[in-house]
Structures are given as C-alpha cells and as structure tokens.
Amino acid sequence: MPQSVALARRFVRSLLDGVGPAVADTAALLTGELATNAVLHARTEFEVRAWVGEGRVHVRVSDQRPERGLVPHDHRPYACTGRGLTLVEELAPSHGVHSTADRKTVWFELWPEPPAPPTSAWETVPPSGRNVNVTLTDVPYALYWAAQQHWEGLLRELYLTRELEARTGVRREDLAVAQDVSNVICSCMKVAVQQETPDSSTLSLLVAFPAGAAAAVAVLRGVIDEAEVAGRQGALLSLPALPQIRAFPHWLFDQVGRQLAGADPTAWTLTSGEPNGTPTELAPWDAGEVETASAPTVAADDLNRIIAVNTAAAELLGWSPTELVGRPLTVLMPEHLRERHVAAFSSLLLTGEARTLGLSIPLPAQHRDGRLVPVRLQVQTQEAVDGRTVFVAQLTSRSAPFGRSPAREEGRYTSPQPGPVSLPSTTTKAKRASVSRSALERLSLMADIGSAMTSTPVLGERLRRVCGVLTQRLAEWCTVVLVDEQGHTERACFAHRDPQLQVSGVSIGRLPAVSETAQGSLPRVLRGAGPLLVTDIPEPGRAESPLDAQQLQLFEQLDADSAIVAPLRARREVLGALTLVRTRQEHPFTKDDVLLVAELARNIAFGVDNARMFQQTRHTAERLQRALLPELPEAGHLRMAARYVPSSTTAEVGGDWYDAFVLPPGDTVLVIGDVAGHDLKAAVTMSALRNMLRGIAVDRPEPPGDVLRHLDHASQTLYPHSTATCVYALIKGDEGGPWDLHHSSAGHLPPLLTTAEGETRYLDGGAGLLIGMDVDLPRPTAQDRLPPHSTLLLYTDGLVERRGEPLDAAMARLRRHTAALARQPVDVFCDELIITLGADSTDDIALLALRPTPTG
C-alpha cells in the first residue's frame, strides 16, 4: 500500500533519536525511496529493519521477490521517476543488495564523517528463462531516454490514481503487468547500451529479452495508449507526449513483440508514422549547433524561454545573442500575436497534437525597435541528452516590409529583463570518449578543413580540397555524396592519397536513389542515421539495393578494411554523406575515430550549406520584386494593410503584385494582380504593367473598366504574348462617408467584402477577360457601397487555391475566416489570414485590405 512508505519513514526516524538530524533526515529519505520501490515493483509485503551500531546507521528493506532484480537508471535531470537508487548511490557511503532463495534485501549504511567507503554495487539479476535477441537499428538514444522517462512517469501516476479504471480505462492487473515489463525493457536496454560506446547520434543494439515477453509488451503499449488519452482529456497531471516521443515507444514495443514472434527487424529510420513523429534530425540537441547555424535560429524550452540563439537571428531582430537568452520567446513577436502563440503552445503541451510543427508559416516578427520583420517560421522539436524536449525555430527573412496602416499607433515594446537560465550540458558519454590523436592534431585538422571549405565559393572545388586534406591526414580514400533539393543523390567528390592513382569504373555523378528498405551504411546515413563505423564489410552480392551495391563495389575496389560513413547534416536536413576508407595496409578505424569524423562532417556540412546559400543569393529577382511593392498611402479614414508572401516550396519569383495610391481628386485606388508565369520574366512584366497602370490612372481618371481597357491596349502593344489578371478598384467618399467602391476585374478572383458584423459576400460585378486576351471587348464597371468598419479584401489565388480542392470550397473557407476576423485591426486581419491559409502554400500570395473608418 502507498501508506506503507510513510510508515517506513516514521519507523526509521523513531529509532534514530540520538543520531544527528542530517543523518536522520537522509536515512528517512532513502528508506522512503526503497520502500516506494518495494510497493511499486515487488508488490509484496516488505520488512524494514534499522539500527545504530559503531557510529553507523544501518537500514535494510526486504521484499519477497528475489527474482525481480533492481533496475538502476541513468541520472537524468528532468526525469520524474527512477531517482530512488540514484539518491542512495549519491547519499549513502555504502549500499548494495543481497538476494536469497525467498527474499531480496536492499541495504545502505550512513555515518556522520565517513572514511573512504567500501566498493558497493547493485546486484543484477538476469531475466529467468530463455532469452531472444532483438535487433534495434538506428536507435536515437536521446529520443529513447526521453520516451522512457515519459512512459515511466505515466505508469507512476497511474499507480497513484484512485478509481483508476473509471478515470482512465486501465485495469489494475494490466497496470501491474505493464509496470513489470517496463522494468524488464529498461533493464535489458540499459545492459545493451552499456555494451556499446554511443559514438554517434544513433545506436544499433542487440538486446536480449525474455522469450515470453511479447504478450506483456502488448499490454504495456495498450496501457500507455490509454494513459495518453487520459492525459489529453485532463484526467492525469502528466502531459501527453509530443508526436515523436509518442511514436518511438510504439516502434520499440512493436519491434520487441514482432521479433519475439520471429519477424525481421525494421530500423527506426524506416518508420513512417504520424506527422512529426519520426524526426529526420536524430542527433541530440546541441546548443553549439544553434549558435553556429548559418540560418537565423532560436531554441526555446518547454517554459517558452529562449535557451539558445545564434547571431544571425539576433541581428535580424536587433538584439545580441546574450541579451535574448533567458527572455520569453514572445519578446520576438508582435503584441497582437503573443496571446495566440501562448494559446497554441499551451495547446501543444496539453494535447500533444502538433498542428504547426514542421510547417513553414509566414508571419511578422517583432524587431527590437518596434517595427515588423516579415519572416517564415519553421519549428521542429529535438531531444536533449538530459531528457528535455527543445523547440528549435528557424527564421527565413521575407525581406519586404509589411504594408502598414497609417492609423496604427507606433511605439516601442519594452521587453522584460532576462531571468536566470541554465543551458543544458551537451557533454555526452560519446563526447567524453578519448581519441587516439592529440588535441593539437585535432585543432590543426579542423583548421585545415575550415580553410578548404572557405577557400572558394564553388562547391565542387571546396569538396575536392576537403577530400585532399582528409586523405593526407586521416584516411587513404575519401568520397562525398550529396543529396539535392529533389532528393537525387550524386557522388560529388572522390579522392585518394596519391592524386595520380585512378580506380576504373568510379566516376563523379548521379547515383541510384536511396531505397526506403535498404540497410546498407550509405542509405542509412542518407536517411538520418550515423555516423557509422564499418569494420565488417559485406560482399557486393549481399547488397539490398543498387545504391548499396555501388557502395560495396567501391569498398571492394578500394580494398577497404574499415570505413566511417558520416552524415552531412545542417539546418536539420541531411545534405549528404562523407565516407572515409582505410585499407588493410593501415590501422583500421576504431570508435575513437568516429567522434572526430562526426565533428569534421558537421563542419563540412555547414560549408556545403553555405555554398548552396551563396549560389541562391545570386538570384536577386525576388529582392527586385519586393522592392517594387509600394508603401501604402496615408488616408486617415481608410485603414489599409498589405502582405506579400513568396511560395515556401520554390525559390523562383512570380508575378503577384498589389498597389495603392491616391489620385489628384482625392480618390483612392487599390490594385491587385497576377502575371502568368513564375520566373524572372513574369516579375519584369508585372513591374511594367504596374507602372503603366499607375500612369494611365493618373492621366485618365476614368471608370475602372475604361482604365483596364487602356491597360489592355498598352499591354498588347508592348507585351503581346503576356497575360495577367487584375482588379482595379476606386474608393470615393469623404472622411465621414458614405463610401462607394467602383471596380472592374480582368479575370481575377472577386474582392471579398466583410462587414463589422461578420457578414461576407464576394463582389462579382465588373468581371471581364484577362489582360492580353481580347482588347476589343468592353470592360464593365461595378459599384458597391462600403459600410463603415467593413473590410474590403483583394487577394491573389495563392491564398485560396489548393491542389485537388474545388475552388468553391476554398472560397467558402476564406469567407469563414474573414467573418471570424471582422472586428480585428486590419494588420491582425491580414496576419491571421496569412498564418492560417498561407502555411506551405505552393504559390505566391499577395493581399490588400482596406477598412473605411468614420472620423470623429
């Protein structure tokens, strides 16, 4: 019974009246931990004995389950369970366990000023009966530890829950089975991990499990699933798991159960689960990777505090990195989005449902001086070695300033002072492993690699120089495989220590595709595993895919004795793989070398990423397009806001544009348009049409239909093979109203009018053909009244159109969203539409909103 724990503590205290308070307190604490273990895991009657002799406190806790050994846990700062034996190890100078035929006794001894304690070790009891080896391939050990901590916390809370079955659907007898097999899994995994040196971000383990454990493992999975449901419904205090922590135990339990039944293993990197459930980034989170990332990157913890930020992100938003660490993440958000962010973040933690993780979302960030910076935000989760989940956000600048409403009050946001924060240590067992070369040699090699990667902007030449350094200093052979944006693989570099030596049949260029089932070292690394040490090289005939076959044939031709294959990973993506080979004439690679190669590969990956980004910056068309977008005019009675968001799936530019200006009589013009095409030519044509339309509108203040007809004539003369859609709208009315909208459309989606009460309707009047189709057809002009505080929205098709979805459904969705935002400020109105409808749009988006507001 849980009450037995308190009785055990009181019993020990009653026997220690003459002992110092510090020793008595420690004895009571450790007794409580051992009694708790007896209640939870032995589930038998247990006996507590305590006495003082020779200046020492002796405590013995005995249960009647000698066959159930202790399950010591690695000490994890954020673990909610598994600390009992760790506390005994830390606080008791002498401790241990002794088992007989009918009982198991866990003991410790305390004394005020202990001499050097005798060696004490926990006794391990191997599982009884026949064991079966289970192969677990590409286990990301940081994710495993986080998942283990989570499911053990759920089991602990279920045990303490009253009316368990009524509240959670879990039966007490199933919980007992789940608790027992969880201990077995943790114990078996701990033994397997200890037999490996975690020299990479992933481990491939051979784990011995009891042959008859499959049914109990299935019960454990069911109990955990029921607990997750209860957590999402608020029936438990434990928060539900995030997608990747929820997916990993499913894979683990399935592998144990299936392989115990005779099935073949499936690697974690081959698992396809729920969205965001199988992250491509398998390495433990490292603050150093954030700080050295080339893209603006910010990391936050589950308290929404910034724990790491790089210079690129800080400078983008007007801060220094040290100023941001410790502040709430909301300091980087405009005030009108902070409440939304807090609500979404809280919902993620409370439900475990990731609605926006992994999506590229356009929104404004808050600069330190108060202005808005258009960015695309992509957030991923990653596990730290201490068991925490870290939220890593990359910011992609969208360079164009947001259109501002002149009525918007300008001001500077004063952020709160930073509070204390402790960055998690990234020192792992792998990083503490010794290497076979001196620190000076390592630094020298790192410097040479850095020089090679920065010596030229040409990526291919960079890699050739890198391979030259590596073959002179570390390996006999070196090759680099890259993955492009379309997922194609190619051998980008191949080098030998002797530059004159040639290998027949080995060429630079395209390689076979990465198979989703192949278990070879290269495809596994390209899917996210590694770095991998290869000492037992299979024959080419054992290859599982064409890519495997080429890699093994290469090893055979090179007379490879050992190799290290390491991923080139940057910005949470695998860009390629580095392979180093030693022949039989050299000392083989060892696990000590893997650490160095992993660090080299990371630096090379940053160089590859920087080279690709350098090539992309040559394409300045998007900057030109953004520079052509106008500043919105000032008209106090007309609140305006505009947004432009390029496609998140392409780096090319398009022909979307908006415009707004005031004619000499005082009427306000709004324009939205889209030139056919998605390239530099479309952007140039868009610029020309925009300027021609401005000139025509000022020179000929005629009805909108006539203005578009003149534009059609000019376009046919100057750009005879181009077509475009366009809406030209003219707002007439004094500051106090009423206001009338005169408009004409050249094949464009109709404007959407939303009243302050949330009523919506599309303004379908004034519709005509696209610009460039037929200049002889008349173009009508429509007129509609604009009610006070209503919102007129002009937009391009990227906001609504989605592949495979009827346009009517998309237009209805837009109406629902504008109705819900009817009373929001126009800036918020536009931002929310972009955030909600613009995430991962495959097309550019331009929108322009206007709201007439009576003065006085």
Within 8 A by CB and 6+ apart from 3, the residues are none
pLDDT in tens, 171-199: 999 999 999 899 889 888 888 887 765 55
pLDDT at 309: 93
Residue 231 structural domain: 131-270
pLDDT over 90 (residue 267) = no
Q: Work out the widest C-alpha separation in the chain, in whole angstroms.
A: 112
pLDDT over 60 (residue 405) = no
Q: What is d(CA 699, CA 717) in angstroms, rounded to the nearest whole number?
A: 19
pLDDT at 423: 35
| 595 domain-assigned | yes
Same domain (yes/no): 514, 659: no
Contact 129, 366 (CB under 8 A): no
810: confidence class by pLDDT, cuts 50, 70, 90:
very high
| 121 domain-assigned | no
| 671 domain-assigned | yes
Q: What is d(CA 460, CA 608) in angstroms, rounded to the nearest whole number?
A: 9
The residue with greater pLDDT, 819 or 423, is 819
The residue with greater pLDDT, 366 or 80, is 366
How is residue 305 annotated by DSSP?
Answer: B
pLDDT over 70 (residue 434) = no
Query: In the structure, how many helices (H) and strands (E) does the chain have?
Result: 22, 28
Same domain (yes/no): 329, 379: yes
| 275 domain-assigned | no
pLDDT over 50 (residue 428) = no
Q: What is d(CA 125, CA 95) in angstroms, rounded to the nearest whole number?
A: 17
Most confident of 276-285, 357-366, 447-456: 357-366
Q: Among residues 241, 270, 299, which one ends one of the domains?
A: 270
Same domain (yes/no): 101, 245: no
| 117 domain-assigned | no
Q: What is d(CA 170, CA 765) in angstroms, rounded to the nearest whole number?
A: 61
Sheet of strand 845-852, all strands in order from the earlier edge strand to the far edge = 638-645, 845-852, 791-795, 752-754, 760-762
Backbone phi, psi, residue 761, to 5°? -160, 145
Continuous segment of H or E residues that includes residue 433: none
Q: What is d(CA 380, CA 572) in angstroms, rounded to the nearest whole number?
A: 9
pLDDT at 400: 43
Q: What is d(CA 631, CA 49) in angstroms, rounded to the nearest whole number?
A: 82
What angle separates helix 214-232 from helix 243-260, to the nearest 10 degrees? 160
Strands 477-483 and 489-496: antiparallel
What CATH number is associated with residue 610? Answer: 3.30.450.40
pLDDT in tens, 321-342: 999 999 999 999 999 888 888 8
Counting residues of the chain whose pLDDT is more than 70, the rounded percentage is 85
Among the listed ranges 201-205, 303-307, 480-484, which one has the minimum average pLDDT value?
Answer: 201-205
Same domain (yes/no): 714, 848: yes
Same domain (yes/no): 785, 685: yes
Continuous segment of H or E residues that includes residue 583: strand 573-583
| 190 domain-assigned | yes
Same domain (yes/no): 693, 760: yes
The residue with greater pLDDT, 447 or 818, is 818
Same domain (yes/no): 555, 639: no
746: confidence class by pLDDT, cuts 50, 70, 90:
very high
SS3 state at 622: helix
Q: What is d(CA 135, CA 708) in angstroms, rounded to the nearest whole number?
A: 70
Question: What is 138-197 written as a DSSP string?
Answer: EEEHHHHHHHHHHHHHHHHHHHH-TTHHHHHS--HHHHHHHHHHHHHHHHHHHHHHHTS-
Average pLDDT of 292-308?
Answer: 86
What CATH number is associated with residue 383? Answer: 3.30.450.20
pTM of the model: 0.69
Contact 265, 194 (CB under 8 A): no
Question: What is 490-547 written as a DSSP string?
Answer: EEEEEEESSTT---TT--SEE-PPPPSS--SHHHHHHTT---EEE-SPPPGGG-SSHH
pLDDT over 50 (residue 436) = no
Continuous segment of H or E residues that includes residue 110: strand 104-110
Same domain (yes/no): 155, 71: no
Same domain (yes/no): 293, 237: no
Separation in Å, CA 120 to CA 30, 76, 116:
16, 21, 12
Q: What is d(CA 293, CA 549) in angstroms, rounded to the nearest whole number?
A: 34
The amino acid present at 501, given as its one-letter code, is: L
Beta bridge partners of residue 308, listed in sequence order: 299
SS3 state at 791: strand
Q: What is d(CA 441, CA 564) in angstroms, rounded to the nearest whole number?
A: 19
Sheet of strand 477-483, all strands in order from the earlier edge strand to the far edge = 509-510, 489-496, 477-483, 573-583, 560-570, 532-534
Instruction: Output the CA angle 256-258-263, nearest 5 degrees.
Output: 125
Cβ-based neighbour number of residue 486 at 10 Å: 5
766: confidence class by pLDDT, cuts 50, 70, 90:
very high
SS3 state at 771: strand
SS3 state at 222: helix
What CATH number is associated with residue 37? Answer: 3.30.565.10
| 573 domain-assigned | yes
Q: Return the structure tokens found at 486.
A: 């379309």
CA atoms within 13 A on the CB side of 310: 18
Q: Among residues 573, 593, 617, which one ends one of the domains?
A: 617
The amino acid present at 34, given as its one-letter code, is: L
429: confidence class by pLDDT, cuts 50, 70, 90:
very low
pLDDT in tens, 563-578: 899 999 877 688 899 9
Same domain (yes/no): 137, 204: yes
Q: What is d(CA 831, CA 839) in angstroms, rounded to the nearest whole number?
A: 12
Q: What is d(CA 463, CA 403) in angstroms, rounded to the nearest whole number?
A: 43
673: confidence class by pLDDT, cuts 50, 70, 90:
very high
The amino acid present at 296, given as its one-letter code, is: P
The rounded radius of gyration (Å) of the Cα atoms in the chain is 33
Same domain (yes/no): 777, 803: yes
pLDDT over 90 (residue 811) = yes
- E strand segments, 305-371: 306-309, 361-366
Q: Return the structure tokens found at 827.
A: 């800036």
| 559 domain-assigned | yes
Number of compact structural domains in the chain: 5
Helix, strand and coil in the chain, % to nearest 5: 35, 25, 40
Same domain (yes/no): 489, 606: yes
pLDDT in tens, 694-705: 999 999 889 999
